[in-house]
Structure 1
Amino acid sequence: MPHGPVEVGVGPWSGSWPSGPGSEVYDAALLAEGDRRNVVDRYRYWTMDAIRADLDTRRHDFHVAIENWQHDFNIGTIVRTANAFLAAEVHIVGERRWNRRGAMVTDRYQHVRHHPTVADLAAYLDTLAEPTALWGIDNLPGSQPLETTVLPRRTCLLFGQEGPGLSDGAREVCAGTFSIAQFGSTRSINASAAAAIAMHSWIRVHADLGGDAWRG
């Protein structure tokens, strides 16, 4: 290929296999056959359980929730972005089944919970050790501009379906709704793009950006 290697990842482990303290994170099959997964170099040859356990030691304090009433294809992409920004949990509200193709397997490294209704989601957030505000992201009349709002450290960002946006039930239980500024002719931006913008707004305020902390 003109712009990079033919294969993603690395081939079989070269030399003696890891042993001793810490070697339990490695997967024998990956060491023998190579690791072609879409993971950062830090996790090459690690088992899935070891990766998830390490991520759990440094997850951020924000949650992401998506309403799923029409099997929105954006859900998988939102899950992938939540993994990239290391959200505490992802919540699917409504239909339990969702299209995982866009997640690119990242849902295996992310805590994903299902809630039948937004009220159930709100009730779950109330059980957490620290208060977690439920904020809706939608360009609704009366929404506050996200660009001039400081997201609280402990928050759950709720996104509606592509097209209709947040449901009436969601609007009722949200502590507030927040909009993303747009300047062109389109009425709305893609739901997964809006989710990425909102998550990055949290990252800019609260994430540790020093050194290589963000490189995984």
Structure 2
Amino acid sequence: MTDTPQKPGAYARKKKPFVKPGPRRPGLPPEGPVLLYGLHTVEAAFANRARKRIKLYATENAVNRLQERGVKIDVPVEMKMPRELDRMVTKDAVHQGMILEADPLPAYGSFDLKGARLVLALDQVTDPHNVGAILRSAVALAVDAVVTTERHAPEEGPVLAKSASGALDMIRHVRVKNMSRFIDEMKDQGFTCIALDSDGPATLEDTDFGDRTVLVLGSEGKGVRQGVREACGTLARLDMPGEIRSLNVSNAAVLSLYVARKKLGL
């Protein structure tokens, strides 16, 4: 009796074909932990009750500096040399000797804006440095929330957090799927929605504000999209008397928010 030859791998488990996972929808909170670095960013993350912290990687000097500033370090600490921290972040990232591993912030929606009086909406502003600077200005000017679109907007991450210099953990950052629909929802709640546009019929100072206002700024170059402008209904402009007639969006945000607070009596 002869053995029947077997085909190679006859009893081996068949491998399933590799299927590349589909891309995660841009603009949503990152999957898994994020790394936050820099003194003000890490300090604000420790002060934010909504931020779930996991682990701190830091030099001894950085830990001492945090403690001197009254930060209660409530997570495990792994001591690192500066060069080790350098390898954990992108090139030229200024970590100041500390990197905090943490979960992304909870997802906020329009339902979290009850009681708000001044809301800033950014229509497809994509540069994380600009959005971070705007978040910082919004905190300084006591804005109730900053709204961005899920797509064509920076997700929460180290660059945005560092640019915001702690502001990411100090203000509600709302992400919406459709900015025009969001504007309609806010108008139904009694908000006046004003889109900044260079062709606005009146200056922002001469525009009527309601008791509750959403101020909408668009990306540099394209500005606020037509559908969003139409949803707002009210357009206003910032007049520049000098030879340069336009501002960087982060600078335009500061100026328009300052005017808005004056108009609202805040």
- TM-score category, normalised to shorter length: 0.5 to 0.7
Partner of 1:137 in structure 2?
196
Q: How high is the TM-score relative to the length of structure 1?
A: 0.62
Q: Equivalent residue for 1:151?
A: 209
Q: Specify the alignment match of 2:143 in structure 1.
A: 87
**Counterpart of 2:236 in 1: which secondary structure?**
strand
User: Which residues of 2 match residues 23-102 of structure 1 at below 5 A?
Assistant: 33-35=67-69, 61-68=117-124, 70-71=126-127, 73-95=129-151, 97-98=154-155, 99-102=160-163
Superposed displacement of residue 197, structure 1:
1.0
- Other structure's SS at 2:220 match: coil
1:132 Cα deviation after fit: 0.6
Which moved further from structure 2: 91-100 or 149-158?
Answer: 91-100
Matching residue's letter, 1:186: I
Q: Give 5+ residue unaligned stretches, structure 1.
A: 1-7, 10-28, 38-55, 209-216
Secondary structure at the residue paired with 1:198? helix
Of 175, 190, 195, the match for 1:114: 175
State the SS of the aligned residue for 2:214.
strand
Deviations 1:153-211 (A, max 9, x none): 30000000022211122112112110011122224111111111111112223345xxx
Partner of 1:177: 235
**Cα distance in structure 2, aligned partners of 1:181 and 1:72:** 26
Instruction: Give the Cα–Cα distance (whole angstroms) in 2 for the partners of residues 123 and 100 of structure 1.
Output: 29
Q: Tell me which residue corresponds to 1:46.
A: none
Q: Is the 8 A contact 1:60 1:207 kept in 2?
A: no
CA RMSD, Structure 1 to Structure 2 (Å): 3.0
CA distance in 2, matches of 1:69, 1:191: 8
Secondary structure of 2:259's aligned partner = helix
Measure the CA separation in 2 of the matches of 1:86 and 1:106. Answer: 11
* Residues 71-127 of structure 1 deviation map (CA, whole Å, 9 limit, x = unaligned): 463111111111111112110024253434321120111111111222232244146
Bigger shift: residues 86-95 or 106-115 = 86-95
* Number of aligned residues: 158
Residue 35 of structure 1 deviates from its aligned partner by 1.9
Corresponding position of 1:198: 256
Report SS of the residue matched to 1:86.
coil
Indicate conservation of the 8 Å contact 2:194/2:232, yes or no: yes
TM-score normalised to the size of structure 2?
Answer: 0.52
